[in-house]
Amino acid sequence: MALHHVTSGRDEGFDDIYSGLLSQRPLPKYRLPEGPNDPRAVHQLLSDELTLDGDASQNLATFCTTWSEPQIKELMAENMAKNMIDKDEYPQTAAIESRCVHMLADLWHSPKSRTTVGCSTTGSSEAAMLGGLAMKWRWRAARKAAGKPADRPNLVCGPVQVCWEKFARYFDVELRQVPLEADATGLRPHQLRAHVDENTIGVVAILGVTYTCDYEPVAAIAAELDAIAGDGGPDVPVHVDAASGGFIAPFLRPELEWDFRLERVASINTSGHKYGLAPLGVGWIIWRTADLLPDELVFDVDYLGGSMPTFALNFSRPGGEVIAQYYNLLRLGRTGYRRVQRACADTAAHLADQIARMGPFKLLYDGRGALPAVSYTLDGDPGFSLYDLSEALRVHGWQVPAYPLPPARDDTVIHRVLIRHGISRDRADLLADDIRTCMASLTSGTRPKRVTFHH
């Protein structure tokens, strides 16, 4: 019989993740570990912890992309090290950014789409602030040239996203937020005369109101400002916040005039990572013509190699999201974007029709004509609030936000459901079924039936 020697001590071949040192104690939260850890264990434990997050595909509160093709993920991984700001080191990534700018300028009917200026940003919030800064600088230069004071700028808008409140506070601009009228979903043109004056740097028109998802009437707003200027009033430019609608309206409502076809529209921002279908981290700002971006706002940077003009609120950021945006523009084209957005809009309208038939709801926006979304409020008192319904839907994994409308309709609480690429008709039907189930439970005053576990 052969003899077998037994080695005493630890079995070095045993490397089970869950019996390793890192797994035997809570992960560090306040102090950097003293030494390195097995990358497989770190990856697995982090993956385990992140399963506690919600399912992004059931988050109906977000406008942001939650589904991407595998080729996008591969491109982003391949280009992870590329810094968007370093255009000398990564000239082809810079060229791709430029292509996106001019494609969007053409999509939005810039009269000089090949020579106008624009840039990518971290998202539509940064893009909006850059548009606001350009308006403030142009207004200030005009006031100083006329020998007038330039210390009290204001910005007029309707129910805007919080980025505009941040812009006003951070850059010392009075925000004149026009209250909502009864049954209105956004700013109305006749409200402007009471709010614009010689200190108004611009009017923000929203193509896809955050609260209700409807479009504000940009052409009518521009026409009213034309009339105000024609009557001897101030000549006020329009900035269109098309964070969501900028990638919807050109494909679903090409006849709608909201963009640079209107001479008063000076700049437009959009979010690539919303209905532009790019992953999180990219937005765009485009000016009608190059002269509308003041030279004083552009910095020339030479310490990365070469001389590079930059206009941004931050500096380094990844180039992968810009590359992913260009991928989508090439991959889909106009026809592809139209098909994707039409499918989303049809699903939203289908869901709206179901909600309308449920009884206790009043639709504010039915998914037709603007963003692929649904917004509604309670019609009467069914014995529960929309906050109650949101909480009940969370049990089923859905995140449906409940919130009040802005002043002066802040006594109205609404739900908003966003339909994005990746949310199918079947999933919308499952949501509708769960709404019915939750309503039945809430109106009966009973808890959901407890199901006994079966082995």
Residue 299 confidence (pLDDT): 85
Within the chain, all domains assigned CATH 3.90.1150.160 are found at 335-443
H or E, element range at 50: helix 39-50
Q: What is the pLDDT of residue 137?
A: 98
Are 218 and 207 a contacting pair, CB within 8 Å?
A: yes
What is the structure's pLDDT at 7?
A: 57
Pairing of strands 200-206, 361-365: unpaired
Indicate the pTM of the whole model: 0.92
pLDDT for the residue 394: 96
Q: What's the pLDDT score for residue 171?
A: 97
Query: Which residue, among 91, 52, 89, 119, has the nearest Cα to 287 in the 3D structure?
Result: 119
pLDDT of residue 392: 96
pLDDT at 432 (0 to 100): 98
From first CA to last CA, the distance across the chain in angstroms is 48
Q: What is the pLDDT of residue 195?
A: 98
Could you please state the CATH topology (level 3) that the domain comprising 335-443 is classified under.
Aspartate Aminotransferase, domain 1 (3.90.1150)
Written out in words, the top-level CATH class of the domain with range 74-329 is: alpha beta
Cβ-contact 178, 191 below 8 angstroms:
yes
- pLDDT means per 10 residues, the chain with 455 residues, are 60 77 93 94 95 92 94 96 85 94 98 94 96 98 97 97 96 97 94 98 97 96 98 98 98 98 98 96 97 92 65 88 97 98 98 96 96 96 96 96 93 96 96 97 72 46
Whether 174 contacts 112, CB under 8 Å: no
Instruction: Output the pLDDT for position 205.
Output: 98
Domain boundaries for CATH 3.40.640.10 within the chain: 74-329
